[in-house]
Amino acid sequence: MKSYEIRPGDMLRFKNILKNRLDDERYNHSLNTSARAVQRARLDGEDWYRAAAAGLLHDISACDTTEYMIDLLGVYVLDEETLLQPKLWHARCGEILLRDMGVKDEDVLSAVRYHTTGKAAMSKLEMIVYLADKTSSERDYNEVEELRRVSDENLEAAMRMSLVSTVKMLVQIEMPIVEDAWNAYNYYL
Mean pLDDT score, 63-72: 90
pLDDT band for position 79 (cuts 50, 70, 90) = low
Amino acid 72: pLDDT: 83
Nearest CA-CA partner of 60 in 105, 107, 15? 15
Nearest CA-CA partner of 57 in 101, 88, 4, 87? 101
- Per-residue pLDDT of 132-174, as tens digits, reads 999 999 999 999 999 999 999 999 999 999 999 999 999 999 9
* SS3 (DSSP) at 117: coil
* SS3 (DSSP) at 143: coil
CA distance 8 to 14: 11
- Per-residue pLDDT of 43-60, as tens digits, reads 999 999 999 999 999 999
Average per-residue pLDDT for the chain: 91
CA distance 71 to 7: 30
CATH superfamily of 10-188: Hypothetical protein af1432 (1.10.3210.10)
Q: Is the pLDDT of residue 84 over 90?
A: no
Higher confidence at residue 167 or residue 176? 167
